[in-house]
Amino acid sequence: MRKPIIAGNWKMNNTASEGAALVSALKPLVKDAKCDVVVCVPAIDIPAVKKALRGSKIKLGAQNVHYAEKGAFTGEISADMLKEYGVQYVIIGHSERRQYFGETDETVNKRTLAALAAGLTPIVCIGESLEEREGGLTEKVLSAQIEKDFAGIDDFSKIVVAYEPIWAIGTGRTATDEQANETIGFIRKRMKKVYAGKRVGKMRIQYGGSMNAKNCKGLMAQPEIDGGLIGGASLKAADFAAIVNFDK
């Protein structure tokens, strides 16, 4: 079966010392976790957080990666640079990057392939806007993202998908358990069709969007949901630990 994966997305929060303090507080709280636990931290926090994570099974993640191996891309960070620092996961195509930083399905695809080539596990975010959901376009939008963002991947067991309805991110408005389960079920079915024979059945799909200590149990009980990508609630050790320990 697919092992659940709970990942924190700190976004642009926590200086290096604050990040180190947060993971130091988190470590004892999640030491018996049955799921994979990841913290995706600002790039400049990586060295300090890596050091603070010593002796724990919590994995280190980044929030973005460039698709080129190296070169004239001021301000960007390559997959090899992350890899050399012990980073294992990287969020790609978060809706905030699509909205504020010009990320497109094409660049999401290129970044995903670059991350895989370097041996990183991409956490690729897809999801619809409120307007699209209310207009009955959710499946159409997701199908287009599925075809473009994942083109060229040979082994889907090596990636994680985060289904993040944009209207649920940072809004306090969570998808219902049934909505999230149904949409993730659709994503899996569609990807199995488009990428037949490429181990899609082994790929984990998280839900993301205002997931917290209160609603995580209901969401995680859904058969299609393999984990969560957590923004706001990953910034406090006790809140994040409560989600990681959803099965206790």
| Residues assigned a catalytic role | 94, 164
Distance separating alpha carbons of residues 53 and 50, to the nearest angstrom: 5
By beta-carbon distance, which residue lies closest to ligand PEP?
Answer: 231
Distance separating alpha carbons of residues 123 and 90, to the nearest angstrom: 6
Nearer to ligand PEP, 150 or 163 (CB): 163
Provide Rg for the chain, Cα atoms: 17
Closest separation in Å from C-beta 216 to ligand PEP = 11
Nearer to ligand PEP, 49 or 229 (CB): 229
- Pairing between strand 36-40 and 5-9? parallel
Closest separation in Å from C-beta 198 to ligand PEP = 26
Instruction: State both tokens at 202.
Output: 């082994």
Binding residues (CB under 6 A) for ligand PEP: these are: 9, 164, 169-170, 208-211, 229-233
Nearer to ligand PEP, 195 or 246 (CB): 246
Closest separation in Å from C-beta 167 to ligand PEP = 10
